[in-house]
Structure 1
Amino acid sequence: MSSGWLRIALRALLVFVLGAAVVTFRVVFAGEREIERSTAALEAGDPALATEHARLAATWYAPGAPHVRVAYGRLLALAREAENRKSRDVALLAYRAIVTASTSTTWLIVPHEADASEARAAIARLESTAPRPIASATQPPGEVEKELAVALAQTPGPSRVWTVVLAASFVALAVGIAIVLRRALDETGRLHRGPAAAGAAIGLVGLAGYALALWLA
Protein backbone atom coordinates (compact mmCIF):
# COMPACT_ATOMS: atom_id res chain seq x y z
CA MET A 1 0.00 0.00 0.00
CA SER A 2 1.38 3.41 -0.96
CA SER A 3 1.73 6.19 1.59
CA GLY A 4 -1.16 8.01 -0.08
CA TRP A 5 -3.54 5.10 0.36
CA LEU A 6 -2.33 4.58 3.91
CA ARG A 7 -3.23 8.16 4.72
CA ILE A 8 -6.67 7.66 3.20
CA ALA A 9 -7.21 4.50 5.24
CA LEU A 10 -6.13 6.22 8.43
CA ARG A 11 -8.40 9.18 7.73
CA ALA A 12 -11.32 6.83 7.12
CA LEU A 13 -10.57 5.06 10.39
CA LEU A 14 -10.46 8.41 12.18
CA VAL A 15 -13.86 9.38 10.75
CA PHE A 16 -15.28 6.05 11.91
CA VAL A 17 -13.90 6.46 15.42
CA LEU A 18 -15.19 10.02 15.67
CA GLY A 19 -18.61 8.94 14.43
CA ALA A 20 -18.75 6.12 16.96
CA ALA A 21 -17.70 8.53 19.69
CA VAL A 22 -20.49 10.97 18.79
CA VAL A 23 -23.10 8.19 18.84
CA THR A 24 -21.82 6.86 22.16
CA PHE A 25 -21.85 10.33 23.70
CA ARG A 26 -25.44 10.83 22.55
CA VAL A 27 -26.54 7.52 24.08
CA VAL A 28 -24.77 8.10 27.39
CA PHE A 29 -25.99 11.70 27.66
CA ALA A 30 -29.62 10.70 27.03
CA GLY A 31 -29.40 7.77 29.44
CA GLU A 32 -27.93 9.87 32.23
CA ARG A 33 -30.65 12.46 31.69
CA GLU A 34 -33.36 9.81 32.11
CA ILE A 35 -31.70 8.60 35.32
CA GLU A 36 -31.82 12.15 36.67
CA ARG A 37 -35.52 12.37 35.80
CA SER A 38 -36.13 9.02 37.47
CA THR A 39 -34.38 10.24 40.61
CA ALA A 40 -36.48 13.40 40.62
CA ALA A 41 -39.65 11.31 40.31
CA LEU A 42 -38.58 9.14 43.25
CA GLU A 43 -37.92 12.21 45.34
CA ALA A 44 -41.39 13.46 44.41
CA GLY A 45 -42.91 10.17 45.57
CA ASP A 46 -43.99 8.97 42.12
CA PRO A 47 -42.69 5.40 41.65
CA ALA A 48 -44.61 4.90 38.41
CA LEU A 49 -42.94 7.89 36.74
CA ALA A 50 -39.58 6.88 38.22
CA THR A 51 -40.05 3.44 36.67
CA GLU A 52 -40.85 4.90 33.26
CA HIS A 53 -37.75 7.09 33.20
CA ALA A 54 -35.56 4.23 34.43
CA ARG A 55 -36.94 2.08 31.62
CA LEU A 56 -36.12 4.79 29.09
CA ALA A 57 -32.60 5.03 30.52
CA ALA A 58 -32.14 1.29 30.06
CA THR A 59 -33.27 1.51 26.43
CA TRP A 60 -30.49 4.03 25.72
CA TYR A 61 -28.21 1.03 25.63
CA ALA A 62 -24.46 1.01 25.16
CA PRO A 63 -22.33 -1.92 26.36
CA GLY A 64 -20.74 -1.04 29.69
CA ALA A 65 -22.51 2.31 30.05
CA PRO A 66 -22.99 3.12 33.76
CA HIS A 67 -26.51 4.48 33.34
CA VAL A 68 -27.71 1.12 31.99
CA ARG A 69 -26.50 -0.70 35.10
CA VAL A 70 -28.08 1.95 37.32
CA ALA A 71 -31.37 1.76 35.43
CA TYR A 72 -31.73 -2.01 35.78
CA GLY A 73 -30.66 -1.86 39.42
CA ARG A 74 -33.26 0.80 40.13
CA LEU A 75 -36.03 -1.09 38.35
CA LEU A 76 -35.26 -4.25 40.29
CA ALA A 77 -35.14 -2.33 43.56
CA LEU A 78 -38.48 -0.65 42.81
CA ALA A 79 -40.09 -3.94 41.86
CA ARG A 80 -38.83 -5.85 44.89
CA GLU A 81 -39.74 -3.10 47.32
CA ALA A 82 -43.21 -2.73 45.81
CA GLU A 83 -43.73 -6.48 46.03
CA ASN A 84 -42.63 -6.49 49.67
CA ARG A 85 -45.11 -3.71 50.37
CA LYS A 86 -47.87 -5.66 48.59
CA SER A 87 -48.12 -2.95 45.92
CA ARG A 88 -48.84 -5.37 43.11
CA ASP A 89 -49.47 -2.84 40.34
CA VAL A 90 -46.21 -0.96 40.90
CA ALA A 91 -44.26 -4.21 41.16
CA LEU A 92 -45.71 -5.46 37.88
CA LEU A 93 -44.99 -2.12 36.21
CA ALA A 94 -41.32 -2.25 37.23
CA TYR A 95 -40.84 -5.92 36.38
CA ARG A 96 -42.45 -5.41 32.98
CA ALA A 97 -40.21 -2.39 32.38
CA ILE A 98 -37.18 -4.65 32.88
CA VAL A 99 -38.46 -7.19 30.36
CA THR A 100 -39.37 -4.47 27.86
CA ALA A 101 -36.00 -2.73 28.14
CA SER A 102 -34.05 -5.97 27.76
CA THR A 103 -36.16 -7.18 24.83
CA SER A 104 -36.11 -3.87 22.96
CA THR A 105 -32.31 -3.63 23.11
CA THR A 106 -31.62 -7.28 22.31
CA TRP A 107 -29.30 -7.86 19.38
CA LEU A 108 -26.59 -10.52 19.21
CA ILE A 109 -26.69 -10.55 23.00
CA VAL A 110 -29.50 -10.08 25.51
CA PRO A 111 -28.72 -7.13 27.80
CA HIS A 112 -29.19 -7.99 31.49
CA GLU A 113 -30.61 -11.38 30.63
CA ALA A 114 -30.53 -12.55 34.27
CA ASP A 115 -32.53 -9.51 35.39
CA ALA A 116 -35.07 -10.10 32.62
CA SER A 117 -35.41 -13.76 33.60
CA GLU A 118 -36.00 -12.80 37.23
CA ALA A 119 -38.58 -10.24 36.13
CA ARG A 120 -40.45 -12.77 33.98
CA ALA A 121 -40.60 -15.21 36.89
CA ALA A 122 -41.86 -12.46 39.20
CA ILE A 123 -44.52 -11.40 36.69
CA ALA A 124 -45.71 -14.99 36.44
CA ARG A 125 -45.79 -15.27 40.23
CA LEU A 126 -47.78 -12.06 40.67
CA GLU A 127 -50.16 -12.76 37.80
CA SER A 128 -50.87 -16.24 39.15
CA THR A 129 -52.52 -14.73 42.23
CA ALA A 130 -54.65 -12.25 40.30
CA PRO A 131 -58.44 -12.69 40.09
CA ARG A 132 -59.22 -15.12 37.29
CA PRO A 133 -62.27 -15.99 35.20
CA ILE A 134 -64.59 -18.62 36.64
CA ALA A 135 -63.38 -21.16 34.07
CA SER A 136 -59.85 -21.08 35.52
CA ALA A 137 -60.62 -20.06 39.09
CA THR A 138 -60.07 -23.59 40.37
CA GLN A 139 -56.65 -23.89 38.71
CA PRO A 140 -53.91 -23.96 41.39
CA PRO A 141 -51.82 -20.73 41.53
CA GLY A 142 -48.63 -22.76 41.14
CA GLU A 143 -49.86 -24.20 37.86
CA VAL A 144 -50.94 -20.77 36.61
CA GLU A 145 -47.54 -19.34 37.55
CA LYS A 146 -45.77 -22.10 35.63
CA GLU A 147 -47.88 -21.49 32.51
CA LEU A 148 -47.27 -17.75 32.68
CA ALA A 149 -43.52 -18.24 33.12
CA VAL A 150 -43.43 -20.45 30.03
CA ALA A 151 -45.39 -17.88 28.02
CA LEU A 152 -43.16 -15.01 29.14
CA ALA A 153 -40.03 -16.99 28.30
CA GLN A 154 -41.14 -17.19 24.67
CA THR A 155 -40.25 -13.57 23.97
CA PRO A 156 -38.78 -13.37 20.45
CA GLY A 157 -35.00 -13.11 20.42
CA PRO A 158 -32.58 -11.96 17.74
CA SER A 159 -33.44 -13.23 14.27
CA ARG A 160 -31.01 -15.96 13.24
CA VAL A 161 -31.54 -15.00 9.61
CA TRP A 162 -30.34 -11.45 10.20
CA THR A 163 -27.47 -12.74 12.30
CA VAL A 164 -26.30 -14.77 9.30
CA VAL A 165 -26.81 -11.74 7.05
CA LEU A 166 -24.70 -9.69 9.44
CA ALA A 167 -21.83 -12.17 9.33
CA ALA A 168 -22.04 -12.54 5.54
CA SER A 169 -22.12 -8.77 5.09
CA PHE A 170 -19.01 -8.36 7.20
CA VAL A 171 -17.24 -10.96 5.06
CA ALA A 172 -18.37 -9.21 1.86
CA LEU A 173 -17.13 -5.88 3.16
CA ALA A 174 -13.75 -7.38 4.05
CA VAL A 175 -13.49 -9.15 0.67
CA GLY A 176 -14.33 -5.95 -1.19
CA ILE A 177 -11.64 -4.02 0.65
CA ALA A 178 -9.14 -6.84 0.07
CA ILE A 179 -9.86 -6.85 -3.68
CA VAL A 180 -9.24 -3.12 -3.90
CA LEU A 181 -6.04 -3.30 -1.90
CA ARG A 182 -4.57 -6.43 -3.53
CA ARG A 183 -5.81 -6.35 -7.12
CA ALA A 184 -6.90 -2.82 -7.92
CA LEU A 185 -3.54 -1.32 -6.96
CA ASP A 186 -0.30 -2.36 -8.57
CA GLU A 187 3.18 -1.91 -7.16
CA THR A 188 3.44 1.59 -8.60
CA GLY A 189 0.26 2.67 -6.85
CA ARG A 190 -1.73 2.80 -10.09
CA LEU A 191 -5.45 2.08 -9.73
CA HIS A 192 -7.03 -0.43 -12.12
CA ARG A 193 -10.67 0.43 -12.66
CA GLY A 194 -12.03 -3.08 -13.22
CA PRO A 195 -10.89 -4.68 -9.95
CA ALA A 196 -11.51 -1.39 -8.13
CA ALA A 197 -15.13 -1.27 -9.32
CA ALA A 198 -15.67 -4.93 -8.44
CA GLY A 199 -14.17 -4.51 -4.99
CA ALA A 200 -16.15 -1.34 -4.35
CA ALA A 201 -19.40 -3.00 -5.43
CA ILE A 202 -18.85 -6.01 -3.17
CA GLY A 203 -17.85 -3.74 -0.31
CA LEU A 204 -20.93 -1.54 -0.73
CA VAL A 205 -23.21 -4.59 -0.78
CA GLY A 206 -21.55 -5.78 2.41
CA LEU A 207 -21.86 -2.36 4.02
CA ALA A 208 -25.55 -2.11 3.12
CA GLY A 209 -26.25 -5.60 4.44
CA TYR A 210 -24.31 -4.87 7.61
CA ALA A 211 -26.30 -1.69 8.28
CA LEU A 212 -29.59 -3.45 7.56
CA ALA A 213 -28.73 -6.35 9.85
CA LEU A 214 -27.74 -3.98 12.64
CA TRP A 215 -31.15 -2.36 12.37
CA LEU A 216 -33.28 -5.50 12.06
CA ALA A 217 -31.37 -8.28 13.84
Structure 2
Amino acid sequence: MKFANLSATLIAAATCLTPYLPAHAGTQDLQPAGTPTAVYTNPAVNPTSTRTIPAMSAIAIAFPADLTLTADTEQTTTLFLAQPIFDEAGNEIAPKGALLSAQLKPGKGGVSVMADFLVISGRTVPIQASSVLIPGQTVTVQSGLDRAREASQVGGRLVGTAFGAGNINDVDGIKKGALAGTGIGLVYGLLSPKKATVVKIPQGSMYILSLQSAVTLP
Protein backbone atom coordinates (compact mmCIF):
# COMPACT_ATOMS: atom_id res chain seq x y z
CA MET A 1 0.00 0.00 0.00
CA LYS A 2 2.84 2.36 0.84
CA PHE A 3 4.52 1.60 -2.51
CA ALA A 4 1.32 2.45 -4.38
CA ASN A 5 0.97 5.73 -2.54
CA LEU A 6 4.61 6.63 -3.37
CA SER A 7 4.10 5.94 -7.09
CA ALA A 8 0.99 8.10 -7.18
CA THR A 9 2.86 10.92 -5.47
CA LEU A 10 5.75 10.79 -8.01
CA ILE A 11 3.37 10.78 -10.99
CA ALA A 12 1.52 13.81 -9.61
CA ALA A 13 4.79 15.69 -9.10
CA ALA A 14 5.95 14.94 -12.64
CA THR A 15 2.62 16.18 -13.99
CA CYS A 16 2.98 19.45 -12.14
CA LEU A 17 6.53 20.01 -13.39
CA THR A 18 5.79 19.30 -17.07
CA PRO A 19 4.73 22.91 -18.04
CA TYR A 20 8.02 24.28 -16.64
CA LEU A 21 10.35 22.00 -18.61
CA PRO A 22 12.14 23.48 -21.73
CA ALA A 23 10.31 22.86 -24.99
CA HIS A 24 13.35 21.19 -26.53
CA ALA A 25 14.25 19.08 -23.52
CA GLY A 26 14.81 15.46 -24.45
CA THR A 27 14.83 16.15 -28.21
CA GLN A 28 17.73 15.60 -30.60
CA ASP A 29 19.03 17.86 -33.35
CA LEU A 30 17.90 16.18 -36.56
CA GLN A 31 19.96 18.52 -38.86
CA PRO A 32 23.09 16.69 -40.14
CA ALA A 33 26.44 18.12 -39.20
CA GLY A 34 27.88 20.53 -41.75
CA THR A 35 24.51 21.50 -43.26
CA PRO A 36 24.61 25.25 -44.14
CA THR A 37 22.16 27.44 -42.33
CA ALA A 38 19.59 29.13 -44.59
CA VAL A 39 19.80 32.94 -44.66
CA TYR A 40 16.69 34.98 -45.48
CA THR A 41 17.21 37.65 -48.12
CA ASN A 42 14.84 40.57 -48.55
CA PRO A 43 14.14 40.98 -52.29
CA ALA A 44 13.56 44.69 -51.75
CA VAL A 45 17.22 45.22 -50.85
CA ASN A 46 18.73 42.62 -53.15
CA PRO A 47 21.68 44.34 -54.88
CA THR A 48 21.10 42.27 -58.03
CA SER A 49 17.48 43.39 -58.45
CA THR A 50 16.62 45.30 -61.64
CA ARG A 51 14.42 48.29 -62.36
CA THR A 52 12.21 48.51 -65.44
CA ILE A 53 10.58 51.38 -67.28
CA PRO A 54 7.46 49.81 -68.86
CA ALA A 55 6.79 50.04 -72.57
CA MET A 56 4.41 52.81 -73.67
CA SER A 57 5.49 54.99 -70.74
CA ALA A 58 5.04 58.71 -71.39
CA ILE A 59 8.29 60.71 -71.40
CA ALA A 60 7.90 64.51 -71.22
CA ILE A 61 10.73 66.41 -72.94
CA ALA A 62 11.47 70.10 -73.49
CA PHE A 63 13.67 72.06 -75.91
CA PRO A 64 16.45 74.13 -74.28
CA ALA A 65 16.58 76.74 -77.07
CA ASP A 66 14.70 78.01 -80.13
CA LEU A 67 15.03 75.68 -83.09
CA THR A 68 14.19 76.26 -86.75
CA LEU A 69 14.72 73.67 -89.44
CA THR A 70 13.30 72.57 -92.75
CA ALA A 71 11.11 69.49 -92.65
CA ASP A 72 13.16 67.68 -95.29
CA THR A 73 16.38 67.48 -93.27
CA GLU A 74 17.37 65.30 -90.33
CA GLN A 75 19.03 66.89 -87.32
CA THR A 76 20.53 65.70 -84.03
CA THR A 77 19.73 67.68 -80.90
CA THR A 78 20.02 67.48 -77.11
CA LEU A 79 16.85 67.80 -75.03
CA PHE A 80 16.04 67.51 -71.33
CA LEU A 81 13.33 65.84 -69.28
CA ALA A 82 10.44 68.11 -68.35
CA GLN A 83 9.21 65.54 -65.78
CA PRO A 84 10.95 62.68 -63.90
CA ILE A 85 10.75 59.10 -65.19
CA PHE A 86 9.53 56.38 -62.81
CA ASP A 87 9.92 52.61 -62.92
CA GLU A 88 7.07 50.10 -62.71
CA ALA A 89 7.21 50.20 -58.89
CA GLY A 90 6.84 53.98 -58.77
CA ASN A 91 10.49 54.70 -57.94
CA GLU A 92 12.19 57.64 -59.66
CA ILE A 93 14.60 56.45 -62.34
CA ALA A 94 15.67 59.72 -63.98
CA PRO A 95 15.16 63.19 -62.46
CA LYS A 96 13.64 66.24 -64.08
CA GLY A 97 16.30 68.01 -66.16
CA ALA A 98 18.16 64.83 -67.18
CA LEU A 99 19.57 65.05 -70.70
CA LEU A 100 18.66 62.88 -73.64
CA SER A 101 19.84 62.74 -77.23
CA ALA A 102 17.28 62.75 -80.03
CA GLN A 103 16.97 62.84 -83.80
CA LEU A 104 14.53 65.16 -85.55
CA LYS A 105 13.21 62.96 -88.35
CA PRO A 106 11.49 64.49 -91.40
CA GLY A 107 7.92 63.44 -92.07
CA LYS A 108 5.03 64.53 -94.22
CA GLY A 109 4.66 68.22 -93.45
CA GLY A 110 6.78 68.25 -90.30
CA VAL A 111 9.26 66.41 -88.09
CA SER A 112 9.11 63.81 -85.32
CA VAL A 113 11.33 63.56 -82.24
CA MET A 114 13.07 60.17 -81.94
CA ALA A 115 15.04 59.74 -78.69
CA ASP A 116 17.94 57.27 -78.84
CA PHE A 117 19.58 57.46 -75.41
CA LEU A 118 19.06 58.97 -71.97
CA VAL A 119 21.71 60.11 -69.48
CA ILE A 120 21.10 58.60 -66.01
CA SER A 121 23.65 59.02 -63.22
CA GLY A 122 26.40 59.78 -65.71
CA ARG A 123 25.63 56.75 -67.88
CA THR A 124 24.01 56.61 -71.30
CA VAL A 125 20.99 54.31 -71.42
CA PRO A 126 19.68 53.36 -74.89
CA ILE A 127 15.96 53.99 -75.35
CA GLN A 128 13.48 54.01 -78.21
CA ALA A 129 10.88 56.72 -77.82
CA SER A 130 9.10 58.88 -80.38
CA SER A 131 6.66 61.78 -80.56
CA VAL A 132 3.76 62.59 -82.81
CA LEU A 133 4.47 64.70 -85.88
CA ILE A 134 5.35 68.34 -85.16
CA PRO A 135 3.77 70.24 -88.06
CA GLY A 136 5.60 72.91 -90.00
CA GLN A 137 4.60 75.79 -92.26
CA THR A 138 5.18 76.00 -95.99
CA VAL A 139 6.92 79.24 -96.84
CA THR A 140 8.48 80.79 -99.94
CA VAL A 141 12.16 81.15 -99.25
CA GLN A 142 12.70 83.74 -102.00
CA SER A 143 10.70 84.65 -105.06
CA GLY A 144 12.17 84.45 -108.55
CA LEU A 145 11.77 88.19 -109.04
CA ASP A 146 13.60 88.99 -105.83
CA ARG A 147 16.44 86.67 -106.78
CA ALA A 148 16.63 88.26 -110.24
CA ARG A 149 16.81 91.77 -108.83
CA GLU A 150 19.39 90.77 -106.25
CA ALA A 151 21.49 88.89 -108.78
CA SER A 152 21.26 91.75 -111.28
CA GLN A 153 22.49 94.29 -108.75
CA VAL A 154 25.28 92.11 -107.41
CA GLY A 155 26.30 90.79 -110.82
CA GLY A 156 26.31 94.23 -112.38
CA ARG A 157 28.53 95.63 -109.66
CA LEU A 158 30.93 92.70 -109.66
CA VAL A 159 31.31 92.27 -113.41
CA GLY A 160 31.27 96.01 -114.03
CA THR A 161 34.07 96.47 -111.54
CA ALA A 162 36.05 93.67 -113.16
CA PHE A 163 35.74 95.20 -116.61
CA GLY A 164 36.49 98.72 -115.51
CA ALA A 165 39.17 98.02 -112.94
CA GLY A 166 41.99 98.52 -115.43
CA ASN A 167 41.00 102.02 -116.39
CA ILE A 168 38.55 104.07 -114.37
CA ASN A 169 38.04 106.33 -117.38
CA ASP A 170 36.86 103.42 -119.54
CA VAL A 171 33.15 104.24 -119.34
CA ASP A 172 32.24 101.85 -122.14
CA GLY A 173 33.90 99.00 -120.30
CA ILE A 174 31.96 99.75 -117.16
CA LYS A 175 28.66 99.85 -119.11
CA LYS A 176 29.42 96.54 -120.78
CA GLY A 177 30.18 94.98 -117.41
CA ALA A 178 26.92 96.23 -115.98
CA LEU A 179 24.96 94.85 -118.91
CA ALA A 180 26.70 91.48 -118.60
CA GLY A 181 25.84 91.35 -114.89
CA THR A 182 22.23 92.25 -115.63
CA GLY A 183 22.00 89.42 -118.15
CA ILE A 184 23.28 86.91 -115.60
CA GLY A 185 20.72 88.13 -113.09
CA LEU A 186 17.83 87.86 -115.59
CA VAL A 187 18.73 84.26 -116.46
CA TYR A 188 18.93 83.38 -112.77
CA GLY A 189 15.61 85.07 -112.19
CA LEU A 190 13.85 82.73 -114.61
CA LEU A 191 14.09 79.92 -112.03
CA SER A 192 10.86 79.09 -110.20
CA PRO A 193 10.42 80.32 -106.60
CA LYS A 194 11.68 77.92 -103.98
CA LYS A 195 9.22 76.72 -101.33
CA ALA A 196 9.99 74.75 -98.22
CA THR A 197 8.25 73.47 -95.10
CA VAL A 198 9.84 75.09 -92.06
CA VAL A 199 9.37 73.84 -88.48
CA LYS A 200 9.82 76.39 -85.71
CA ILE A 201 10.09 75.12 -82.12
CA PRO A 202 10.30 77.83 -79.44
CA GLN A 203 12.52 77.47 -76.38
CA GLY A 204 10.85 75.55 -73.57
CA SER A 205 8.34 73.79 -75.86
CA MET A 206 7.20 70.50 -74.30
CA TYR A 207 6.33 67.30 -76.15
CA ILE A 208 5.41 63.78 -75.05
CA LEU A 209 7.41 60.81 -76.27
CA SER A 210 6.04 57.28 -76.11
CA LEU A 211 8.49 54.56 -75.06
CA GLN A 212 8.42 51.88 -77.76
CA SER A 213 9.96 49.06 -75.71
CA ALA A 214 10.65 48.47 -72.02
CA VAL A 215 13.99 49.61 -70.61
CA THR A 216 15.67 47.52 -67.88
CA LEU A 217 18.27 49.08 -65.60
CA PRO A 218 20.58 47.25 -63.16
Specify the TM-score bucket, using the shorter chain as the normaliser: under 0.3
Higher relative helix content: 1
Greater relative CO, 1 or 2 (CA 8 Å, sep 6+): 2
**TM-score, normalised with respect to structure 2:** 0.24
Q: From the CA coordinates, give the structure whose radius of gyration is larger.
A: 2
**TM-score, normalised with respect to structure 1:** 0.24
